[in-house]
Chain A
Amino acid sequence: MKFKLPFNKQQQQPVQEAPKENLVRVAHATDHFIQSIKNATNNPADLIVKYLPPNVTLIYIDNLIDDQTLNNDIIANLQSKPHDTPEAIEMALSIAEVSQSSLLRETVELMVNGHVVIHIGGFPQTILANIASRESRALSAPENESQVIGTQVGFNESLSTNISLIRRYIVSPNLCNEKVKIGTRTSTSVSLLYMRGIANDQMVQTMRQRIKDLYIDELIDSAVLAEMIDDNSLSVFPQMLLTERPDRFCDGILDGKIGVLVDGSSMAIVSPQGFTEFFQSQEDQNLRWQIATFLRLLRLAAFFLSVYLTPFYVAALTFHYEVIPQAFLVPLSESRALVPFPPIFEALLLEFIIELLREAGARLPTKIGQTIGIVGGIVIGTAAVQAGITSNILLIIIALSALASFTSPSYMMGNVIRLIRFPIIILAGFWGFYGIMLAFCFILIHLLRQSSLGAPYMSPFYPPRLKEMRDSIIRMPVPLTSKRPALTRPKDEHKFVPEPVKPDKS
């Protein structure tokens, strides 16, 4: 059964707007031209019109351009000697990106992008010089994907900065960068990055198609884009990785994945992405393989612990008291004896409190957040036990599973883990272990059905690709993982030709 998607992915290209407006030409007369620009931009307060005698006019939007460049490289050059033809002016400007246009619409579009419009009275064209300066914060450490060993730089909100970061990691002419504008109102720049010679053409084509087919009016963040170009937007599991680490992004690209950057967003999209890869951290590459393997197994264990521990408690206490070890029986039943609620209600209540604390901690200012953490953790925790609302053991279990859910390196996946726990708890409270099994099968089937950019989501487990398990939930030493994952169907399968770990002594 296919659900109807909440928005249309395969919508027809928007009908080209009336060519009449598109083809309005730039006026000869200066007054006429200024008026037409003002009309087209609704005469904003920051529109600056500057006359340079005898016949040159400069029009720009104050907040978009770099004042220093304007003064030194444009006004100074224009004032030094008079020019009378657009060609002469174009030659005179010491700016790299200069173009001419005779269409009003194009002129206005570039102007709102940070170009200066130079108009010479009597000529039906404009000269456009790009001196845009965008406000962006300095590069800083990635806040949400911090790691101990490894680079401490994250993407910021500027597309050009982000691309320059990537170009610094991958110094190669094969790094392809395609630019697309998305959003009829915001016209946000979206960059599609991939490695020619590695990335699969079909996947690139699919990705390009999905982005280009979007017909939306606004695009503020890459998370929105990721949700819209996912294979299954209705699934709770993310099928594309959102990362703010340039090293992780580049590692993915070099494996044959396709990256998407959105202007104004500090998160980059990497796809195709397998389910197990959400539990891998870039730090794993920087650690010795034994330690990396241990950490990956730890995260996987944390995933299962986080999802199934509380339901297991609920099911065991509600239906299957037989499975409780005898040594554990008395402490468990004694701590439960004071609680007036059935286990399912007790568990849901505590999970709810923990989620409240987490949400409050994320929303509150940093300083208050810490205080709330202490209040929530200690005061509510101990008070709840003393008041007889919950049992001590459940408190430990809930805290443990909350902690475990944060070990996922991807925040998106961590959210999923926290969410899918609730239905499982309810099922466990209704039908015990049968309910848990039902939920487990449901999740498993759902995961098996998913795909990421057409690639199987559960690879390398389904389809089983035994050799790729070397770099999935474990990480084998680098010489053994010299092949790129088949998940991306890379054109060049080998990263390098592995040499024997221990060369024969000769």
Chain B
Amino acid sequence: MILLSFVFLYGCAQTNILDKVGLTTLVGYDVGTEDKIKTTAVIREVNPEFQSNVEVLSTENDTSKGNRMEANRKLSKKIMVGQMRVILFGEELAKKDLRYYIDTNLENASVSNGIFMAIVEGETETLLKYEYQNIEDIGQHIFRLIEQNVKQEYMISSTLHQIAHDYYSSGKEFAMPIIKRDDELVELSGIALFKGSKMVSTLPAKDSFYVKIVRDTFKVGLYETVLENEDVPSEILQKPANKITVAFDAIQSKREMMLVDADTPTFDLNIKIKSRVLEVYPDINQGDPKSVAALEKAIEKKLSKEIRRVIAHSQEVESDIFGFGEKYRSEVRHSKLTKDKWQKIYKDMKVNVHVDFTILRDGVFE
């Protein structure tokens, strides 16, 4: 009897044999004509005749599933999304609304929650359809590009899981990296700030360090900053110079957010960075504790200035990507915080930034 049920139930299981499916590695969404969704998919197909090829298909339809059906009509293999790694959105689409796309992908069980989401400057279709000379599989390439930068902590991480979390929490907005084509390469060019599900502003890629340092803890990131003339303590210079370029990698950063005043929300933001200075140009005497202390002071000043600037920018566009609202909600009783409410409060929020920068080492001789 058991054996018989085995035999009958065999038909119920739907098979997706690897060499019979076309694997979508990347999907890009754009605004299509007449409010349709324009989808560009990078699909890897493996055929016995040729090694393997990457198809970039663009379709227009009312839903993303409709697009998938349309793409299916053009390919010899069943399209599956289980191996999808990246979702891209066109800039124009992001400025309209992304809610639908986040929900659809979140609800689809075969889409992993670990896929990266990013914004494309311009249209995704033009980025994906361009014939790059050295990039064979544009889908994998973009995935590795983002993954590598996130792991190195050069860029904020924006997986579907994180985006959905930030999107549904009342005191935080999400942010995504922006990518664009740079001749024969694809580069990460900045960070897109969102208000609700609409993209409202961008920050340059350099600022991702400050965003990261305020958003979460930092472990391995490398950073380079320029100390301007007025910040440079003159006594540490061996030669007169207008500016000092300092490159350091943060060994450990710790941030502490404290709500000091709940009425007109005022936060104390204490950031502790322990770092290793890698390069200083022009040279200073790092053997002297006094000049090291002065350098620390100068960097602290510079960092807090930059962080204030980044926060001010986000306040201006009412996009709390740092999660001050979360802190507010957890500290203030009965706040009944909603997204709209917080967006209004956030605009007038005050933040006191204190940076405590410690130089632990200044490089190792090998």
Contact = CB atoms under 8 A, between A and B. Distances in A.
A336 B10 CA distance: 23
Given A333-B46, A334-B52, A337-B47, A326 B13 contact: no
A436 to B, nearest CB: 13
B164 to A, nearest CB: 19
Contact of A329 (B10, B14, B23): B23
Nearest to B25: A326
A337 B49 CA distance: 9
Contact of B18 (A333, A338, A430, A432): A333
Nearest to B85: A326
Interface stretch (A69-77, A251-259, A314-322, A347-355): A314-322
A322 B110 contact: yes
Contact of B10 (A317, A319, A321, A430): A430
Interface string A330-342: 1011101111001
A337 B15 contact: no
Contacts of A329: 23, 44, 83
Interface string B30-70: 00000000000000101110011000000000000000000
B10 A326 contact: no
**Chain A facing B: main interface SS:** helix
Nearest to A330: B52
A342 B47 contact: no
Contact of A326 (B21, B46, B52, B83): B83
Nearest to A316: B18
A343 interface: yes
Nearest to A332: B18
A340 to B, nearest CB: 9
Nearest to A333: B46
A339 B19 contact: yes
Interface string B17-29: 1110101010000
A432 B16 CA distance: 10
A333 B143 contact: no
Contacts of A430: 6, 9-10, 13
A431 interface: yes
Given A326-B140, A334-B52, A430-B10, A321 B16 contact: yes
A337 B112 contact: no
Interface residues of A, number: 23
A431 B12 CA distance: 9
A324 interface: yes
Contacts of B17: 317-318, 342-343
Contact of A338 (B25, B48, B52): B48
A397 B297 CA distance: 60
Interface in A351-400: none
Given A333-B18, A337-B19, A430-B6, A321 B82 contact: yes
A321 B13 contact: no
Contacts of A320: 16, 82
Contacts of B83: 321-322, 324, 326, 329
Given A321-B82, A321-B83, A336 B143 contact: no
Contacts of A319: 13-16
A337 B21 CA distance: 11
B27 to A, nearest CB: 15
A336 B6 contact: no
Contacts of B51: 334
Nearest to B49: A337
Given A330-B52, A333-B52, A334-B46, A322 B82 contact: yes
B80 interface: yes
A125 B80 CA distance: 93
B48 A321 contact: no
B87 to A, nearest CB: 15
A321 B19 CA distance: 10
Interface string B78-94: 00101101000000000
Contact of B19 (A322, A326, A333, A431): A333
A324 B83 CA distance: 8
A370 to B, nearest CB: 36
Interface in A280-298: none
B237 to A, nearest CB: 49
Given A322-B83, A333-B46, A317 B112 contact: no
Interface string A262-305: 00000000000000000000000000000000000000000000
Nearest to B14: A319
Contact of B13 (A336, A338, A342, A432): A432
Contacts of A333: 18-19, 23, 46, 52
A432 B17 CA distance: 11
Contacts of B140: 326
Interface in A14-46: none
A494 to B, nearest CB: 48
Nearest to A321: B18
A424 to B, nearest CB: 13
Nearest to A336: B19
Contacts of A318: 15-18
Nearest to B15: A318
B8 to A, nearest CB: 11
A337 B16 contact: no
Contacts of A321: 16, 18, 21, 23, 80, 82-83
Interface string A43-83: 00000000000000000000000000000000000000000
Contacts of A332: 18
Interface string A429-441: 0111000000000
Interface in A184-228: none
Interface in B126-141: 140
Contacts of A334: 46, 51-52
A320 to B, nearest CB: 8
A322 B47 contact: no
Contacts of B46: 330, 333-334, 336-337
B150 to A, nearest CB: 15
A338 B15 CA distance: 19
B124 to A, nearest CB: 20
B148 to A, nearest CB: 13
A435 to B, nearest CB: 8
A338 B46 CA distance: 10
A331 to B, nearest CB: 10
A337 B143 contact: no
A333 B20 CA distance: 9
Contacts of B9: 430-431
A319 B20 CA distance: 11
Interface string A476-502: 000000000000000000000000000
A317 B13 contact: no
Contacts of B25: 326
A389 to B, nearest CB: 13
Contacts of B47: 337
A316, A326, A339, A432 interface centre (most CB from chain B within 10 Å): A326
Contacts of B52: 330, 333-334, 337
21 contacts: A317-B18, A318-B18, A319-B14, A321-B16, A329-B23, A333-B19, A333-B23, A333-B52, A334-B52, A336-B18, A336-B19, A337-B19, A337-B46, A337-B47, A337-B52, A338-B48, A342-B15, A343-B17, A431-B10, A431-B13, A432-B13
Given A322-B83, A326-B85, 16 more contacts: A318-B16, A320-B82, A321-B82, A329-B23, A329-B83, A332-B18, A333-B23, A334-B52, A336-B19, A336-B46, A337-B19, A339-B19, A430-B10, A430-B13, A431-B10, A431-B13
Ranked nearest first, the 3 interchain pairs of A and B with the lowest CB-CB distance are: A322-B82, A333-B46, A336-B19
